[in-house]
Amino acid sequence: MNVVESVADLRAQCDAARVAGRRVGFVPTMGYFHVGHRSLMERARAENGLVVVSLFVNPTQFGPGEDLSAYPRDLEADTRVAEAAGVDVLFVPSVDVMYPDGPPRTTVHVAGLTEGMCGAARPTHFDGVTTVVAKLFSMVGPCRAYFGRKDFQQVAVVRRMAIDLDLPVEVIGCPLVREPDGVARSSRNAYLTAPERAAAPGLHAALGAAADRIRAGERRAEAIRELVASVVEAPLELEYVEVRDATDLVSLDELAGSFVIAVAARLGRARLIDNIVMEVDGAAVEVDDGVIIDQDAAR
């Protein structure tokens, strides 16, 4: 595996792969890799000739008072994980490489999809995400890009950006990865104390209760929102529960077709997000709840 720090080196390796007829798979990350990241790398490895992973804790997507300085980092361990997953190029740029003239004066904003959900609590977050991802897409060039579905709104926003800007990138949303007790894998889970970690499954349990109610015939979105809010208990502090169309994230009144039930909650220092995707066709109900991993998986 090649570890590169410059944009010129990254572009040279991606361009050489495409000239040789190999498709490029790209996984953008902020590091502190866990099994969810590894699943993205492994899928990229299975579907592409060259696999690139970027590792950059992007300051422009953190708002005032958020956890930029405390965000977990472990480059040595991340390098081992990436190499074991078959990554060819690990791109580890500095802030000066990504933003050589300071904070960018050109930013990317995706209207509509960034409103509500995580965008309500973090109003500058998605502009930071789309701007840095647009830069990374420009550096890597034509590719398949892999994102975890835990950040469901982010996947929808980045996909819309790529479509609207005619970027030569196929954005692929990959299954959310869960621990055996249902907790969605996240780098920020490292913030949880033992008692907080014991309470964390309550968020997934609330989603499970919602799925059960829908299987029983409930089709009113407001009833589902109220149910989830009633199930989430202290020390979890519910930030939002949303029921939205799975494609355009329009808020729903009645459940039909494919939709997402998304939640966010504060737990100690951590902000946890989770979701399930469901499809309703008359009385038939399908649920995509992600993938359960083994208890002994790394991080």
- CA gap 58, 74 in Å, rounded: 15
Does 51 fall in a domain?
Answer: yes
Q: Could you report the per-residue pLDDT of 168-214, keeping only the tens digit for each?
A: 999 999 999 999 999 999 999 999 999 999 999 999 999 999 999 99
Active site residues: 37
Round the average pLDDT of the chain to a whole number and report it: 95
Whether residues 281 and 138 share a domain: the answer is: no
Does 136 fall in a domain?
Answer: yes
Q: Could you report the per-residue pLDDT of 99-126, keeping only the tens digit for each?
A: 999 999 999 999 999 999 999 989 999 9
Could you tell me the sign of the dihedral formed by the alpha carbons of 28, 179, 69, 263, in that order? Answer: positive
Does 32 fall in a domain?
Answer: yes
- The length of the chain in residues reads 299
Q: Could you report the per-residue pLDDT of 232-282, keeping only the tens digit for each?
A: 999 999 999 999 999 999 999 999 999 999 999 999 999 999 999 999 998
What strand order describes the sheet that includes 284-288?
237-245, 257-267, 270-281, 284-288
Which of 113, 147, 174 is the last residue in one of the domains? 174
Which of 174, 207, 235 is the last residue in one of the domains? 174
Residue 139 C-alpha from the chain's centroid: 20
Does 299 fall in a domain?
Answer: no
